[in-house]
Structure formats: C-alpha cells, structure tokens
Amino acid sequence: MAKYRLLRERLLAEGTLEARHVARSEPAPLEWLAAVHDEGYLERVLDGALAEAEQRRIGMPWSPGLVARARAAAYGTAMAARAALRHGIAGNLAGGTHHAYRDRGEGYCLFNDHAVAIALLRAEGAALRPFVADLDVHQGNGTAAIFAGDETVFTFSVHGERNYPALKERGSFDLELPDGTGDDAYLAALERHLPRALDLHEPDLVFYQAGVDALASDRFGRLGLSHHGLRARDERVFRWCAERALPVVVTMGGGYARPIEATVEAHANVWRAARAALAARAGAA
C-alpha cells in the first residue's frame, strides 16, 4: 500500500524519524514462523498451494510478493520488540497483522507478527508477560485465538461492535463500541479500562496496535474519532506505559481514510507521539 511509503517519507522529511534509526526489514526465518503457525499452513503459504477459499478469506490472491511482505512484517515487529526492551519505545512502520490465526490467514494477514515476536522473546527469556493493547477498530481475532487460555499474555482490544470480524474471539478484555462513537466517549472508555488492565496483568512489554481506522472518515471504521482524538489516544497510551516503566512496541494496523493524506497524517501522529514520549522518558531518566 502506498501509505507505508508515504508515511516513511513524511516522518524522515520532518525529522520525526532519523535515517540512522530506520532499518530495512528482512524475511522472518522459517523457524520463527513455525513457532506460531501450523506446519501444514506454512507449507501451503510458502509453496503457493493455498486453496481458493483460503485466499478469499485472506482477501488477496497468493503471490511471492505477498509472502515476502508478510515475512518482512513479522521480522520487523520482532526486531522492534527487541529494540523496545533496550530503548523504551520502538516500532514497525508496518505490521499489526492481528487477523492471522495459527492455521489460517484472514483479513489481509498471513502471519501474526505479534505472536511471532512474543514467541521469539519468550524463547530468549526476554519478555515473559507481554500485553497486547489493540486499538485498531477491528478486533485482533487471530491474536486472541492464538493466546486463548494463556494467562501470561493479556490481549486487550477496543473495537467497533459491528465491524469485521462478524464473529469475534474472546480475548482477555474486549470492549465493543457502537457506530459513531466519538472522541469523548472513546477516550473515557479507554481511560476507564486500559490502566486498570495494565495494573492487573503487570506486563514486562506492551505491543501497541495503533490502527487509525477509528477515524470518522475511514471507509471501514464505523467510529467517529477526529485526528485530535486519535492523537490524544496515542498520548495516553504512551503516558500510561511510561508511568509504569513499560517498554512499548508500536505496530501500524489499519487505516483506510480517503484521501490517503488523512490516513498518512493519522499514522504520522502516532509516531510523533511516540517520539515525544521517548524524549520525555529520556528527560526523566
């Protein structure tokens, strides 16, 4: 999608990101993917043998490029997680493929990058109580299903009640919002529930799925947030994590507003808030 390129160009041009802090992703090693995804599913993806029904569920036809992008997204999120543990905040300028299950892809997602990163860090003994704060307007159904019954991983999701997926999975905490929910109601709900969930779980790492498809102008979002409301959301998430000395991994998630400039601006605000939060952490150290 063009938004990824446009976002990177904007953040570099305005100085929110510096070129020395941006690394090109690589294909995630197969053993990383195999730690999360079923062997048969992986083989079908890599061999181009997905059935037509599987490709329809994913929403895109199979291609080598599709697989390459999915592997790169998983690698990028895993590397960002390692960097967050060192520096406090890091992120992937893509990623957030939260609809992918162990045995199938859905909703434009082939591999679940959060799950891949969590499995890698666990194997390294680096993060044993991760917390996924998924504020994409669509529930992270794949992530919730992968970690169902695993009390060491907390899956927190605030999403549209009537949005995809029609049948939601049960996560650790799910809040479904009605169509048209605006800034005040959204932020009040987030303030009521997210800090409490963080305190309940006592995580050692937070994955922030910072989708911007809650924008009122989003084609698929159904909610009614403004750019100001989304920026306030991002600032709150980073502040609550900083207050608890929690490292944060940022993934991009969804955003489908038109013109594309509105989507890029909303995504850029996430990274502006992240940079400000990182500077505040450094100043407080």
Give 99-128 pLDDT, tens digit per residue. 999 999 999 999 999 999 999 999 999 999
* Structure token digits, residue 107: 């909703």
Active site residue 201: no
The CATH number for 2-284, chosen from 3.30.1390.10, 3.30.720.210, 3.40.800.20, 1.10.3720.10, is 3.40.800.20
Report the distance separating Cα 119 and Cα 96, nearest Å.
15
Q: Token match 């959060």: residue? A: 114
Alpha-helical (H) ranges within 88-177 are 113-124, 141-146
Report the distance separating Cα 260 and Cα 218, nearest Å.
10
Give the per-residue pLDDT at 197: 99
Report the distance separating Cα 41 and Cα 53, nearest Å.
13
Report the distance separating Cα 132 and Cα 154, nearest Å.
6
At 186-203, the pLDDT tens digits run 999 999 999 999 999 999
Q: Is the pTM of this model over 0.85?
A: yes
* Structure token digits, residue 175: 């809040």
Report the distance separating Cα 211 and Cα 270, nearest Å.
9
Q: Taking the CB of residue 216, how many other CB atoms lie within 10 A of it?
A: 18
Asked whether 197 and 173 are in contact (CB, 8 A), the reply is yes
277 pLDDT more than 70: yes
Give the per-residue pLDDT at 152: 98
At 21-78, the pLDDT tens digits run 999 999 999 999 999 999 999 999 999 999 999 999 999 999 999 999 999 999 999 9
Q: What is the mean pLDDT of residues 242-253?
A: 98
Q: What is the DSSP-derived secondary structure letter of residue 266?
A: H
Q: What is the mean pLDDT of the chain?
A: 97
Q: Taking the CB of residue 81, how many other CB atoms lie within 10 A of it?
A: 28
Q: Which of 21, 37, 87, 99 is catalytic?
A: 99
Report the distance separating Cα 98 and Cα 210, nearest Å.
12
Residue 285 pLDDT class (50, 70, 90 cuts) = low
Q: What is the mean pLDDT of residues 191-220?
A: 98
At 136-149, the pLDDT tens digits run 999 999 999 999 99
Q: Token match 């939601």: residue? A: 168
3 state DSSP class of 235: helix
3 state DSSP class of 273: helix
Asked whether 88 and 248 are in contact (CB, 8 A), the reply is yes
Q: What is the mean pLDDT of residues 158-178?
A: 98
At 79-96, the pLDDT tens digits run 999 999 999 999 999 999
